[in-house]
Amino acid sequence: MKKEFEELEYQNGFGNHCVTEALKGALPVKQNSPLKCPYGLYAEQISGTAFTVPRKLNQRSWLYRIKPSVTHEPFHPRDPAHKRLVSDFTGSGVASVTPTQLRWKPPPIPEARTNFIDGLFTVCGAGSPFLRHGFAVHMYIANASMEGHAFANADGDFLIVPQQGRLWIKTEMGRLQVKPGEIVVLQLGIRFAVELPDGPSRGYVLEVFDGHFQLPDLGPIGANGLANPRDFLTPTAWFEETSWGHSGFTIIHKFGGGLFEAKQDFSPFNVVAWHGNYAPYKYDLRKFCPYNTVLFDHADPSINTVLTVPSERPGVAVVDFVVFPPRWLVAEHTFRPPYFHRNCMSEYMGLIYGMYEGKADTFVPGGASLHNCMTPHGVDTATYERTISEEPKPSKIPDALAFMFESSLIPRVTPWALSSPQLDPDYYKCWIGLRSHFDRQQIPCEEKD
Ligand SMILES: O=C(O)Cc1cc(O)ccc1O
Ligand SMILES: [Fe+2]
């Protein structure tokens, strides 16, 4: 293990105004933009929201760096172009819509040397970064660290869900170590590089074009529970002074769905101190404090919302990030697994480890499913039959972590996801065996207990 990444320190709390310096005295006192900064650093602001948005939503940080971000050669379209990354879903040209239930097996790690960026491929999405509205779901399969390269996304925020292998992420605001079971959010514009200390890595990425993730309101739950703000961890300032010779470092910049490259002679991870509330963070999903029914019926999955990007319509999310963690099931005379349903929202699901309660045998870690708007779905036949034949005792869902990206928008699916060898043509068969239990002679069940 690389020594330098051991025991990183983080700043606790969601959306905090952080203050951090890697060299004592590097932060200017009393002002953001002094004529001369301490240590001869350059001051640079990064705005995550329009200057004028209401204060409670305003996000920006001030970075004090060895050289400013602007010190680079011109941007050029990346060559060869990244062929499997899509951001604009507004026309039917690139991706297409289907009401069919879709399920994919885990994509295999490539044999060729592939870093996090080259290993990204888009599965589905809606809207467009040009309109600042919508989202994309990608997966990544990678086996190599990003050496001499940093990535920034001017299209949207990335929420990354590693499923296999840790990610050591250098960012302008400091470093993050992220392992399966944790998530990391890297916002619009923030430069980062992904290293793979364990070798091969696979995971899911939710990209949102609208704005930034928020914690959901808790309503009658009260002031505590679900994802607690203090468990979100933001890096502390860290910098490297590595010289990359003439034009030795490459910035990869995603903009309008395309990738551009610019060369420079220094590492962009040269921020000696920063302050502000626009910064990446990670969160351990095992710290999620789930709430659930304690008497009867099945709670809607919104009860497990970790983070949300709200739309302008009250209560309607552009996208919610929902987790299905281990929890006790105690409901009486209740069908406890997910009910059969059709949803006006669209549901993309993945599995980090363990098994998913709705598809006990057939949904595997690293796999994914998409149930689009109003597409019927629910537990598979085996889970249904097993559940109705068992006497429900209090039981605990064993150690497992499934998640859902749920959107009010209608996602189109990319051609490579639809023609993927991992797409399971037999998915529908998990429900086709659901037989009629209808019996006119059967006496309606009275509420027991
Ligand atoms: O479809 C799914 O498996 C996700 C889901 C879970 C649940 O407990 C209730 C509704 C729902 O969409
Ligand atoms: Fe569902």
Looking at ligand 1, which atom is closest to the CA of residue 378?
1
The confidence score (pLDDT) of residue 1 equals 45
Which DSSP helix (H) or strand (E) runs through 140?
strand 133-142
The CATH architecture one would assign to domain 71-270+277-285 is: Sandwich (2.60)
CB 428 within 8 A of CB 101: yes
Reported ipTM: 0.98
Q: What is the pTM of this model?
A: 0.97
Ligand 2 centroid–CA 342 distance in Å is: 7
Which amino acid is present at 407?
A: S
Distances (CA, A) of 103 to 106, 194, 203, 356, 411: 10, 28, 16, 14, 15
The CATH number of 288-424, from 3.50.50.60, 3.40.50.2000, 1.20.120.1200, 2.60.120.10, is 2.60.120.10
- Predicted confidence at residue 278, as pLDDT, reads 98
In the block, tokens 């068992």 appear at 390
Q: Which of 297, 302, 370, 377 to mutate to test the pocket of ligand 1 (most atoms within 8 A of CB)?
A: 377
Is 377 among the catalytic positions?
A: yes
Among 82, 149, 261, 298, the one annotated catalytic: 298
List the residue whose alpha carbon is closest to atom 8 of ligand 1: 338
Same fold, 71-270+277-285 and 288-424: yes
Amino acid at 313: R
Question: How far is ligand 1, taken at its centre, from the CA of residue 338, in Å?
Answer: 5
- Please pick, among 149, 261, 341, 385, the residue that the annotation labels catalytic: 341
Residue ranges around ligand 1 (CB below 6 Å): 301, 338, 341, 343, 347, 358, 377, 404
Number of the ligand 1 atom closest to the C-alpha atom of 357? 3
Catalytic residue list contains 341? yes
Query: Kind of pairing, strands 149-153 and 249-255?
Result: parallel
pLDDT of residue 3: 47
Per the annotation, the verdict on 371 as an active-site residue is: yes
- Active-site residue, selected from the candidate residues 44, 347, 357, 406: 347
Mean pLDDT by 10 residues, the chain (449 residues): 69 98 97 98 98 97 98 94 92 90 97 97 97 97 97 98 98 98 98 97 98 97 98 98 88 96 97 98 98 97 98 97 97 96 98 88 91 97 94 92 98 97 96 95 67
Measured CA to CA, the distance from residue 305 to residue 87 in angstroms comes to: 25
- How far, rounded to the nearest angstrom, does the alpha carbon of residue 77 sit from its chain's CA centroid? 26
Instruction: Count how many residues are written for the chain.
Output: 449
Would you list the DSSP string of 276-314? ES---EEEEGGG-B----SSSS---GGGGEEEEEE-SST
* C-beta pairs of 111-115 under 8 Å, 24+ apart in sequence: 113/143, 113/144, 114/141, 114/142, 114/143, 114/144, 115/142, 115/144, 115/145, 115/146, 115/147, 115/149, 115/194
The whole-number pLDDT of residue 215 equals: 98
Annotated active-site residue 253? The verdict is no
Domain range list for the chain: 71-270+277-285, 288-424
Query: In sequence order, which residues have a C-beta less than 8 Å from that of residue 395 and are 6 or more positions away?
Result: 328, 329
Q: Catalytic one among 371, 385, 390, 406?
A: 371
Adjacent-strand bridge partners of 85: none
Residue 182 is a catalytic residue: no
Instruction: Tell me which DSSP letter residue 431 carries.
Output: H
- pLDDT at 126 (0 to 100): 98
DSSP annotation string for 36-97: S-GGGPEEEEEESS-TTS-GGG--EEEEEESS-TT-SPPPEE-SSPPTT-----SSTTT-B-
